Amino acid sequence: MVLDILLLPFRSLPSIWGLLFISLLTGIGMISIFRLTSNQEKISRLRKKMLGEIFGILLHVSSPATVMKFAGRLIWSNTLYLLYIIKPLLVIAIPFMLIWGQLDARYGTDIVDQNTSVTVTVEYEDSLPERDNITLIGNGIEIIQPLVMVDTLRQVSFRIILEDGTIGSLDVNGTSSTVGKTGTWNGALILRGFDTENSLKRLFCPWVDKGVVSGDGPISGWYSLKTVRYEVLGGHWSWLAVFLVFSSISAIAGAKIFDVKV
Amino acid sequence: MYLIKSTVCRKAKDKQILHDLVVYCLTNTFLQWIFQREEIIIERLQGNSKCRIPFFIIIPLLLVTAVSAYVGPGAGFGIVTSFLVILNAVFASMLSALLWPIGLIIRFVKRRRRQCKQLAKRVIVLGLDGFSPQIAEIMMDSGQLPYLDTLRKNGTFCNLQTTCPGISPVAWSSFQTGVNPGKHDIFDFLAPDRKRYLATLSSVKTGTTTSRLGIGPFCLNRSKSFVRLLRKSRPFWTLLRKYGIRSTILRVPITYPPESLDGQLLSGMCVPDLRGTQGSYTLFSEKDSGTIYAGGIRQKLSKVNEKLWTGELPGPLKCDGECSVIPLELKISEKCITLKIGDRKISLSEGVLSAWVELTFKSGRKKIKAISRFCLTTENGCPSIYSTALHIDPFSPSLPISHPVYYSKYLAGLFGPFATLGLAEDTWALNNSAVSENTFLDQAWSIFEEREKMYFDALSRTRRGLVVCVFDTSDRIQHMFWGQGTAQDTPVYNMYLRMDELIGRTLSEMGKDDMLVVMSDHGFTSFHTCIDFNRWLLENGYLVLKNGVETVDTSFKGVDWSNTRAWSMGLAGIMLNIKGREGSGIVEPGSEAEKLLSEIADKLLLLETDEGERVINAVYPASDIYQGPYSNRAPDLVIGTKSGFRAGWGCVTGGVGSKVIYPNSRRWNGDHCHDHKLVPGTLASNMKLDSENASILDIAPTILRVLGIRPPSYMEGKVLAGNGKIQ
């Protein structure tokens, strides 16, 4: 919801702009949280110590024994550094994972093309029903036979085509799920599968639809969607690369501007 | 379940993620590198650094820094990238181990062969500024300095003749160069500007040069500031480079700005503070503001309410000539006292010096980093804050204070911030009662401890070669507490005990092939009476004031130079107003000048107190005591006062007071600016040395000899070790 509001001004623009905006904003946000939750004094002191140890290596480069001593001290200081960032790490982890999931769901895969088929794989809990007992009902979806059944994995695969290219629903032996763009009021999330279990995991994986089960239908399923690549600085970047690089740039800038010791 | 499955099914995608992560890490590392290490790269690219470390070693090490200082959208990535720190540390170690034999061969091939037999693998020079041999001897005799006594019994302990005059910058310059002041051009703390009759610092020149760049009407004026060391000749440690002998030189006076050498150097006396002075503290109080005192300034502490006071800490000058400032806020509550300076907040306790506080002044787009310590006192029931001089931050030095430039960063990184000002112990603050005796002593001893850490680090890292470290605490404590005597538990007594402990710790760190030299540049004696040489010159008709002028505060303002024949500046010098040499000289050089000199010298020797006590021990004409290309820049006469008497405070900087002889009312009551024969320094060693008439000029040739090098012919001292023979 929050992301939808933040991304509202970018709706009419190519999706990369929204991703860039969120990346820059996330960097600033994370660095602010880091500042608030970490012991800045200790980190600053340790950083200087580590730099001192590096200069120690440079100063005594002609003495391998001294270099090794400083290298050992550097590794120890690095361990301390990791200890110092555990607290901010834990605090940041949850919002970071939430954002990660949201961005992956929005920018990770392409929407289902009107003319391209998508492979759907569903999994049953105990054993596969007989081929004739598998019923497939699509709403706004064209189901393409044949069914491929893998008994050992309790999986059934088939292909579908989304008729209007945005949303449809699929019913397999009474288990129904949504296919396409949904999840929020403006339909920005692209679903990649469904799971009938009630789990908090879905909070971090918003691309998984909550499948409604009735009868002996499958308990989960996933759709093979196309990964999106973005044209940035002459290269083809995944959303993750864009996010990591640009959020880092904004975090570095934020750290510089707000004098955050990291 | 879904997550596990989808992970298995997306192996191909994971490869891409891995690729993206690598791209990300490299980008991040590069950005960090640019942001954080720019000065090193610039220095390396400009070729200013004399370091011989190749880029391929620097780059991986910088990557380590960058990774350790990881900034990402979550601290979680710190874990991933921290592994790179380990990887790089291991890589650096392996690389160093692999390159070590190659470096060893190169050094072996390139270095010169030693000219005589080496007597010690390592020479350690422990300089104790002002350590008096007379006091040490008394205390050794009563068994209070056991370690020094060990040196006396098994090695050497003797007086060390100092320079004329026996002042630290002069004596330490002679120590490092092995020549008399006529060859190194340092005759005093101050050097007279003879054209303008002004006092300038003798050892350093700071200024700006302007260069024009452009074509036709498009011109750009670029100004660049410079710092130049005025001491001439060469320190003996720079000669060691040719022989592949490394040195670590810590806080030896007159080493600012640092010169290049094979090893490390941290500059000492004459390193300025960020206001460009030799140390000016700030005292905040509700009283008068902006008043400049000797050695400090007073700033207004404005009361906002019963619990809150505000003020401004003045820093370095900006390009527009204005002073950059940092706002300061003092909050006093029942529970605690907090001081907010800029964005830093510290807790204060009354009478206790805070730890070093890092301060950032903004001068245009530039940021200038300083460190300072604060102390809360009360003045007539009102709070008052003392702030030490603004020391150059050793971690981000805005002026060159070490060689290589990152040596100060190394020390600050390992041991925390430390005093970088040349005269770090704030004697003026105690003189002006801005701090208590206890606060001053706390400050002096904490500076001593900082230096101790650096010194023992240098000892542990320099197993062969030369280590020199000068401790100034001994000098400052004697200056300020001489009047309390040397009885048990007096500051001076305690200082001698602590210096002996330092010698003991040094001995315990030494190997059997090491040589220890404990030395001081001069001794100490009392200073209870001031002599105003300018007043004396005035009363004897050699100096003339303009009509209506009775006294002069400073810089000879009001002196009638057209009728003045002699003037005094500095701690022991009298100059003639020579035609062609001085700006308004009237004395003809040659016989007239010589006659005048001998007349002044004869009269000075007869100068006495109202009680009939003679105050001058000897007067030395410069031509008798200095030889060398710069001897003509020396004062014409050097006055050797008797113990207890010294040049008055005002006349040192060109003042003319109302009395020739008057009591010294300041707390600075011990000194060594007397006849140099009365204040010899100390020489002690674990090696038997030829101690007869040992002089501070002998130390450099002796150390060279001990390290197997023939002292160069320009050095004047004699070799005290190896029976003085050079095979």
Answer whether B229 touches A (CB < 8 Å): no
- Nearest residue on chain B to A192, judged by CA atoms? B6
Answer whether residue A232 shows pLDDT above 80.
Answer: yes
Of B17, B62, B407, the CB nearest to A240: B17
Q: Which residue has the higher pLDDT, A128 or B110?
A: A128
- What is the three-state SS of B642-703? CCEEEECHHHHCCCECCCCEEECCCCCCEECCCCHHHCCEEEEECCCCCCCCCEHHHHHHHH
8 Å CB contact of B78 and A60: no
Strand B281-285 relative to strand B296-300, pairing: parallel
As given in the structure block, the two tokens for residue B152 are 């006396």
8 Å CB contact of A64 and B395: no
Answer whether B14 touches A (CB < 8 Å): no
> What percent of chain B lies above the pLDDT cut of 70?
86
8 Å CB contact of A93 and B90: no
Answer whether residue B334 shows pLDDT above 60.
Answer: yes
Say if residue B228 is exposed, middle or buried (CB neighbours under 10 Å; 0-12, 13-18, 19+).
Answer: exposed
Local confidence band at B68 (pLDDT 50, 70, 90 cut-offs): very low
Q: A86-90, A181-185, A242-246, B529-533: which has the minimum mean pLDDT?
A: A181-185
Chain A residues within an 8 Å CB radius of B96: 57, 61, 63-64, 67-68
Chain B residues within an 8 Å CB radius of A248: 24, 27-28, 31, 71-73
pLDDT digits (tens, 9 = 90+) for B678-708: 999 999 999 999 999 999 999 999 999 999 9
Mean per-residue pLDDT for A145-158? 89
CA distance B593 to B597: 6
pLDDT digits (tens, 9 = 90+) for B491-543: 999 999 999 999 999 999 999 999 999 999 999 999 999 999 999 999 999 99
8 Å CB contact of B73 and A60: no
8 Å CB contact of A195 and B2: yes
Distance from CA of B70 to the nearest CA of A (A): 6
Answer whether residue B45 shows pLDDT above 50.
Answer: no
If DSSP codes are grouped into helix, strand and coil, which group holds residue B433? coil
- Write down the pLDDT at residue A142: 87
Q: Own/partner pairs for A204-207, CB < 8 Å, 24+ apart?
A: A204/A97, A204/A98, A204/A100, A204/A101, A205/A101, A205/A105, A205/B2, A205/B3, A206/A101, A206/A102, A206/A105, A207/A101, A207/A104, A207/A105, A207/A108, A207/A109, A207/A183
8 Å CB contact of B2 and A201: yes
8 Å CB contact of A75 and B2: no
Q: For residue B393, which of B362, B363, B418, B415 has the smallest C-alpha distance?
A: B418
- Max mean pLDDT range (A17-21, A212-216, B97-101, B155-159): B155-159
8 Å CB contact of A92 and B76: yes
CA distance B174 to B168: 10
Of A50, A63, A75, the CB nearest to B86: A75
Cis ω on the peptide bond leading into residue B165 (within 30° of 0)?
yes
Chain A residues within an 8 Å CB radius of B107: 62
Query: Are B474 and B451 contacting, i.e. CB atoms less than 8 angstroms apart?
Result: no
Backbone region of residue A215 per phi and psi (left: phi > 0; alpha: psi in -120 to 50; beta: other values): left
8 Å CB contact of B28 and A88: no
Q: How far is CA B203 from CA B129, B237, B445, B670, in A?
A: 18, 19, 27, 24
Local confidence band at B724 (pLDDT 50, 70, 90 cut-offs): low
Other CB atoms within 10 Å distance of the CB of residue B290? 9
As given in the structure block, the two tokens for residue B303 are 């009361």
Residue A82 DSSP one-character state: H
Mean per-residue pLDDT for B316-321? 80
- Write down the pLDDT at residue B290: 60
Q: Which residue has the higher pLDDT, B114 or B289?
A: B114
CA distance A242 to B584: 74
- Write down the pLDDT at residue A173: 85
Q: For residue B227, which of B188, B270, B185, B260 has the smallest C-alpha distance?
A: B270
Answer whether residue A178 shows pLDDT above 60.
Answer: yes
Sheet with A155-162: list strands edge to edge.
Answer: A141-150, A155-162, A118-123, A220-223, A193-195, A208-210
As given in the structure block, the two tokens for residue A225 are 């969607």
Answer whether residue A200 shows pLDDT above 80.
Answer: no
- What is the three-state SS of B312-366? EEEEEECCCCCEEEEEEEEEECCCCEEEEECCEEEEECECCCCCCEEEEEEECCE
If DSSP codes are grouped into helix, strand and coil, which group holds residue A110? coil
8 Å CB contact of A85 and B85: no
DSSP percent split of chain A into helix, strand, coil, nearest 5: 45, 25, 30
8 Å CB contact of A240 and B92: no
Answer whether residue B335 shows pLDDT above 60.
Answer: yes
Count of H-run helices and E-run strands, chain B: 20, 33
Q: For residue B518, which of B531, B535, B501, B530 has the smallest C-alpha distance?
A: B501
- Nearest residue on chain B to A84, judged by CA atoms? B75
Q: Give residues 98 to 117 of B whose Cβ lies within 8 Å of A.
A: 99-100, 103-104, 107
CA distance A251 to B319: 32
pLDDT digits (tens, 9 = 90+) for B156-182: 999 999 999 999 999 999 999 999 999
Chain A residues within an 8 Å CB radius of B261: none
Which residues lie across from B156 on neighbouring strands?
B685
Answer whether residue A174 shows pLDDT above 60.
Answer: yes
Query: Are B543 and B560 contacting, i.e. CB atoms less than 8 angstroms apart?
Result: no
Answer whether residue A109 shows pLDDT above 90.
Answer: no
Answer whether B413 touches A (CB < 8 Å): yes
Q: For residue B517, which of B452, B584, B482, B469 has the smallest C-alpha distance?
A: B469
Residue A131 DSSP one-character state: G
CA distance A148 to B326: 75
Mean per-residue pLDDT for A17-39? 90
If DSSP codes are grouped into helix, strand and coil, which group holds residue B370? strand
- Nearest residue on chain B to A60, judged by CA atoms? B461
Mean per-residue pLDDT for B321-331? 91
8 Å CB contact of A30 and B416: no
Alpha helix stretches (DSSP H) within B37-126 = 38-46, 55-68, 76-110
Chain B residues within an 8 Å CB radius of A59: 264, 404, 406-407, 410, 461
If DSSP codes are grouped into helix, strand and coil, which group holds residue B536? helix
Answer whether B461 touches A (CB < 8 Å): yes
| Helices A15-37 & A86-107 angle (0-180, nearest 10) | 170
Backbone region of residue A187 per phi and psi (left: phi > 0; alpha: psi in -120 to 50; beta: other values): left
8 Å CB contact of B412 and A238: no
CA B32 to chain centre: 34
Of B6, B92, B407, the CB nearest to A59: B407
- 């940041």: which residue's tokens? A92
Q: For B636, what's the count of Cα atoms within 13 Å in the CB-facing half-sphere?
A: 24
Query: Are B310 and B328 contacting, i.e. CB atoms less than 8 angstroms apart?
Result: yes
Local confidence band at A104 (pLDDT 50, 70, 90 cut-offs): confident
Answer whether B216 touches A (CB < 8 Å): no
8 Å CB contact of B2 and A259: no
- 């296919």: which residue's tokens? A179
Residue A228 DSSP one-character state: P
Of A52, A74, A222, the CB nearest to B85: A74
At A136, give phi and psi (nearest 5°).
Answer: -120, 120
pLDDT digits (tens, 9 = 90+) for B626-679: 999 999 999 999 999 999 999 999 999 999 999 999 999 999 999 999 999 999
Mean per-residue pLDDT for B275-289? 87
Q: Which residue has the higher pLDDT, B41 or B57?
A: B57
Residues in chain A: 262
CA distance B387 to B349: 14
Distance from CA of A45 to the nearest CA of B (A): 8
Mean per-residue pLDDT for A87-112? 82
8 Å CB contact of A57 and B61: yes
Chain B residues within an 8 Å CB radius of A244: 20-21, 24, 72-73
CA distance A231 to A19: 12
Local confidence band at B289 (pLDDT 50, 70, 90 cut-offs): low
CA distance B551 to B565: 18
Query: Are B130 and B523 contacting, i.e. CB atoms less than 8 angstroms apart?
Result: yes
pLDDT digits (tens, 9 = 90+) for B363-418: 877 889 999 999 998 877 789 999 999 999 999 999 999 999 999 999 999 999 99
Strand B281-285 relative to strand B382-387, pairing: antiparallel
pLDDT digits (tens, 9 = 90+) for B343-377: 899 999 999 999 999 999 988 778 899 999 999 98
Chain B residues within an 8 Å CB radius of A156: none
Q: For residue B691, which of B189, B133, B12 has the smallest C-alpha distance?
A: B133
Q: B84-88, B235-239, B249-253: which has the minimum mean pLDDT?
A: B84-88
Distance from CA of A20 to the nearest CA of B (A): 13
CA distance A136 to A114: 19
Say if residue B52 is exposed, middle or buried (CB neighbours under 10 Å; 0-12, 13-18, 19+).
Answer: exposed
pLDDT digits (tens, 9 = 90+) for B114-154: 878 899 999 999 999 999 999 999 999 999 999 999 999 99
Chain B residues within an 8 Å CB radius of A45: 416
Strand A175-182 relative to strand A167-172, pairing: antiparallel
Cis ω on the peptide bond leading into residue B404 (within 30° of 0)?
yes
Local confidence band at B77 (pLDDT 50, 70, 90 cut-offs): low
Answer whether residue A146 shows pLDDT above 90.
Answer: no
At B555, give phi and psi (nearest 5°).
Answer: 60, 25
Answer whether B70 touches A (CB < 8 Å): yes
pLDDT digits (tens, 9 = 90+) for B588-610: 999 999 999 999 999 999 999 99
Q: For residue A84, which of A18, A35, A38 has the smallest C-alpha distance?
A: A38
Local confidence band at B8 (pLDDT 50, 70, 90 cut-offs): very low
Chain B residues within an 8 Å CB radius of A195: 1-2
Chain A residues within an 8 Å CB radius of B17: 238, 240
Q: Which residue has the higher pLDDT, A200 or A43?
A: A43
> What percent of chain A lies above the pLDDT cut of 90?
10
Answer whether residue B24 shows pLDDT above 80.
Answer: no
Answer whether residue B470 shows pLDDT above 70.
Answer: yes
Domain locations in chain B as residue ranges: 13-110, 274-398, 528-677
CA distance B280 to B291: 12
Q: What is the mean pLDDT of chain B?
A: 87
Answer whether residue B9 shows pLDDT above 60.
Answer: no
Largest CA distance in chain B: 108
Chain B residues within an 8 Å CB radius of A53: 413-414
- Write down the pLDDT at residue A187: 64
- What is the three-state SS of B434-477? CCCHHHHHHHHHHHHHHHHHHHHHHHHHCCCEEEEEEECHHHHH
As given in the structure block, the two tokens for residue B199 are 């006092």
Local confidence band at A161 (pLDDT 50, 70, 90 cut-offs): confident
Distance from CA of B21 to the nearest CA of A (A): 7
Q: For B350, what's the count of Cα atoms within 13 Å in the CB-facing half-sphere?
A: 11
Consecutive H or E run containing A38: none
8 Å CB contact of B71 and A262: yes
